[in-house]
């Protein structure tokens, strides 16, 4: 029995038609979409299969759709590979909720309700506290963190060696891009609706605490890694608090990925796209990792 670690996609992985082919080939995946349509009272299936990229972009839409596709992908993969042992799980940002379902911390229904509320609150914050993000390439983490501190912005993601994402208000972000340019460090502004995983999302994090407290959490049935610490979490209260902090805190994805590797013989990416498999090539090219399905 192969020990398989599962990693789950984050925001930005969405694309029109995602999940449609998966549903055609997997009864387990089709059941997930049926459940999703009932839970939220609107058709997640129609959004995933028919919506344009513009319609899929807002947090309130892309978060529940990506979550649904990711869980459907996990169910389809485990249906097709019944001998694969779920050795550990982790997800990038919103993918942490799909990972929590795979680790049996949350039911699919509760995870979907939470992620829909998270997306709604984050969209609200984007409008009230506008900002942006940029990917910094090839820089040392300490150097990027120092510049963020000087500019009153935040490190949003430690994705992999050579890629860090920064986030914050426009004036601070512009200043940081200038300082990075002066040091010959390449930085690429991202096309996003707001400053995710920064202090500008604090109001969303605080409001989200109510939904987290009202939701039942269980102890993970396998090692479950969380973004804000990059470490395993075991108690429901710890998991809740880390999920609250994650909305406005840094995502330590490289640490999560290394944790997954320590328990697994291979890693499988569940969800739309192959972003996390790409990160793995930078984290440890020799470790077997790839998407569950080549096309969704």
The DSSP code sequence of 169-180 is -HHHHHHHHHHH
Burial (Cβ within 10 Å: 0-12, 13-18, ≥19) of residue 85? middle
Instruction: Please report, for residues 51, 86, 108, the alpha-carbon distance to residue 223 in angstroms, rounded to integers and kept in the order given.
Output: 35, 9, 18
Which two three-digit tokens encode residue 168?
A: 């914050």
Please report the pLDDT score of residue 296 as a whole number: 60
CATH number of 3-127+199-291: 3.40.366.10
What is the pLDDT at residue 191?
86
Identical fold between 3-127+199-291 and 131-189 = no
Report the distance separating Cα 170 and Cα 295, nearest Å. 36
**CATH class of the domain comprising 131-189:** alpha beta
pLDDT at residue number 295: 57
d(CA 199, CA 28): 39
CA–CA dist 176, 169 (Å, integer): 11
Q: How far apart are CA 48 and CA 66, in angstroms?
A: 8
Residues 231 and 28: their CA atoms lie apart, in Å, by 30
Q: Which of 26, 93, 98, 248 is catalytic?
A: 93
Domain ranges (residues) in the chain: 3-127+199-291, 131-189
d(CA 256, CA 244): 18
Is 197 considered catalytic here? yes
pLDDT digits (tens, 9 = 90+) for 216-264: 999 999 999 999 999 999 999 999 999 999 999 999 999 999 999 999 9
With cut-offs at 50, 70 and 90, classify the pLDDT of residue 96: very high
26, 45, 98, 197: which one is catalytic?
A: 197
Q: Which H or E run includes 267?
A: strand 266-270
Mean pLDDT of 65-81: 96
Q: Where are the alpha helices (DSSP H) in 41-94?
A: 44-50, 53-56, 59-80
């Amino acid at each position: 029995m192969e020990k398989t670690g599962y990693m789950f996609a984050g925001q930005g992985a969405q694309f029109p038609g995602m999940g449609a082919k998966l549903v055609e080939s997997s009864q387990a995946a089709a059941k997930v979409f049926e459940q999703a349509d009932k839970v939220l009272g609107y058709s997640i299936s129609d959004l995933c299969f028919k919506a344009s990229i513009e319609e899929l972009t807002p947090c309130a839409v892309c978060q529940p759709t990506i979550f649904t596709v990711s869980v459907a992908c996990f169910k389809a993969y485990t249906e097709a590979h019944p001998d694969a042992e779920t050795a550990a799980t982790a997800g990038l940002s919103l993918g942490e909720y799909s990972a929590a379902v795979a680790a049996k911390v949350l039911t699919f229904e509760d995870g979907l309700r939470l992620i829909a509320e998270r997306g709604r609150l984050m969209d609200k914050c984007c409008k009230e506290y506008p900002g942006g993000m940029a990917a910094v390439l090839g820089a040392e983490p300490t150097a990027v963190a120092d510049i963020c501190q000087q500019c009153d912005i935040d490190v949003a993601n430690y994705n992999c060696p050579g890629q860090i994402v920064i986030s914050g208000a426009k004036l601070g972000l512009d200043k940081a891009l200038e300082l990075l340019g002066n040091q010959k460090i390449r930085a690429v502004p991202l096309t996003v609706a707001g400053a995710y995983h920064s202090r500008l999302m604090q109001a969303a994090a605080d409001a989200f605490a109510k939904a987290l407290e009202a939701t039942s959490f269980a102890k993970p049935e396998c090692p479950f890694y969380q973004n804000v610490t990059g470490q395993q979490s075991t108690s429901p209260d710890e998991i809740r608090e880390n999920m609250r902090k994650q909305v406005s805190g840094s995502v330590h994805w490289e640490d999560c990925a290394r944790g997954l590797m320590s328990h697994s013989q291979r890693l499988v990416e569940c969800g739309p796209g192959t972003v996390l498999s790409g990160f793995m090539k930078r984290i440890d090219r020799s470790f077997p990792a790839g998407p569950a399905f080549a096309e969704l």
